[in-house]
Structure 1
Amino acid sequence: MSDSDRKHKVALITGSARRIGASIALALHQQGYNIVIHYNQSKREAEKVVDELLKSRAHSAIAVHGNLQALNDLTTLADSTVAQWGQIDLLVNNASCFYPTPISSASDIEKTEPKFKVDDWNGILDTNLRAPYVLSLLLANALRETNGSIINLVDIYADRPLKNHSIYNISKAGIAMMTQTLAKELAPDIRVNGVSPGAILWPESEAETTEQNTTRERIISQTPLARCGSPHDICEAVSYLANSQFVTGQIIKVDGGRSLHL
């Protein structure tokens, strides 16, 4: 590792091959960070982001594969991050699993019994909650050496639930509490904060139907600022928390005020 590499801070962003994660990676890179792009299935997109970063500054980015549901992969991800530049200054737990898991369904004739699907529970909780917790613990010693910080991507639905997304809601409520708990336990050497997005990017699985458009219009109508946000808004919050040396245990809602109406 050269002296020029040492002068740059290092950030690991989970799920940063695409969407908000990629935007955070690009924004932090522009601020002088060396970046570890984590991906699971999006190898091509991850390599594209790394190529873009390397064009701007040589030896400043790598991509590391990891299934966040596999504990061995979490260890490999943490070890690879520290080994690359000998340090880590910022962990951004961005990766998230989001899809509906209604506990029951209804028809005109009867209500079916609630169905518990172990795969749904394990898949969402392992990705959204266990992985951020384990990565935080695995990287704690290295983060202490740099007086680094952890930023968790939460959700406004951690406070008030989104219908038919019970497991997702539970996972995000858990990471909100994890943020505050670790802020206490890792202080004074490591700061831990969160960013809680509102309507920023619509889920990619949403079809362009009249029903979906109506839902989007309703969400915007419930937002005092009367519009959706952008990944840039999340990046600004992440940047603020990464650089604010006297802020810990806080979760910033970046939702245009929508949580006031939930």
Structure 2
Amino acid sequence: MNDTEQVALVTGGAKGIGRGIVQHLASNGWRVVFCDVDDSVGKALADGSDGQVRFIAADVASERSVKKLVRETLAWGGRLDAVINNAGIANPETGPIEDLSLADWQRRLDVNLTGPFLVTKHAVPHLRDSRGAIVNLASTRALQSEPETEAYAATKGGVVALTHALAMSLGPDIRVNCISPGWIDTRAFQGQPEGVPPLAQSDHRQHPAGRVGRPEDIASLVAYLISPAAGFITGQNFVVDGGMVRKMIYED
């Protein structure tokens, strides 16, 4: 490996959008460390990378685990140029608010919001050295909601606010931005890509862009935001949802 190659750390990279980000960055010359709590899928992804990708088992809700993650990233890569805080509990539905347990509420806060805080906290000294960048993954659910999704929406709203606060605190040395995906079809990025049936045409047609999103839609924006081409962009939340958040919907 070339010691001058840039190194990115992606949390929650074994499946879904995170997996797409890992693969996209690696294919564009980045050395990528990614973490996940799913050991088997994470190891399988790294094993097929020809040494360009390193998997480290880690729980972003644990400060001890995060410290180890950053330490091992530096030991392997020799530097750190970008952090993509993607790890999260993806299921937004938690049932009626009166039945939502404090433990379930707290676990989502721990992973979805405290996780990005901890990873950023321990990565910042190394990102300052490289004048690097951070991209946080939020959700359009930070901006609009369905019933019984309070915990998830609260965490993603927190990620958006954390992003602009960090941008003010860490600039100009480190740029910090956020992406809020809409419906991204990640079924082929779950570590078992075979046998994924096509989505209904109505799923695609309801989007003003004409289709449901793909992980590469998010990954390509991540790659741009951590590149020198985005040097004048910080503190922003980019909604990538095929236009759905701008669509006025009424029942007939």
1:25 to 22, 46, 58: 22
Q: Deviations over 1:108-157 (max 9, x none)?
A: xxxxxx13412211211111000101110111010000010000111011
Q: Report the CA distance shift for 1:202/1:18 in structure 2 as closer, same or farther (over 3 A).
A: closer
Partner amino acid for 1:159?
L
Q: 1:160 to 1:249 in 2, by over 3 A?
A: same
Gaps of 5+ in 2: 189-199
Aligned to 2:32: 35
**Which moves more between the two structures, 195-204 or 62-71?**
195-204
Amino-acid identity (%): 30
Structure 2 residue corresponding to 1:256, chosen from 236, 242, 247:
242
Of 140, 143, 146, 1:156 maps to: 140
Cα shift at 1:32: 1.2
Structure 1 residue 91 corresponds to structure 2 residue 71: no
TM-score (norm 2): 0.87
Q: What per-residue deviation string (whole Å, max 9, x for no partner) do you get for residues 138-188 of structure 1?
A: 110100000100001110110112321110000000000001110110000
Shift of 1:203: 7.7
**SS of residue paired to 2:54:** strand
Structure 1 residues without counterparts, runs of 5 or longer: 105-113, 205-215
What number of residue pairs does the alignment pair up? 235
Residue 117 of structure 2 corresponds to 133
1:25-80 CA-to-partner distances (Å, cap 9, x unmatched) read 1111112111112110x2121112112211xxx4x321111122222111111211
Q: Distance in 2 between matches of 1:123 and 1:31?
A: 34
Offset at 1:218?
7.2
Aligned ranges for residues 1-262 of structure 1 at < 5 Å?
4-40=1-37, 42-54=38-50, 58=51, 60-99=52-91, 100-104=93-97, 114-201=98-185, 220=204, 222-243=206-227, 244-261=230-247
- Counterpart Cα distance in 2 of 1:169 and 1:200: 17
Identify if the C-alpha distance between structure 1 residues 124 and 217 changes in structure 2 by more than 3 Å, giving closer, same or farther.
Answer: farther
Greater C-alpha radius of gyration: 1
Contact 2:17 2:186 in 1 (8 A): no
Kindly indicate whether structure 1 or structure 2 has the higher relative contact order, using CA contacts under 8 Å at least 6 residues apart. 2
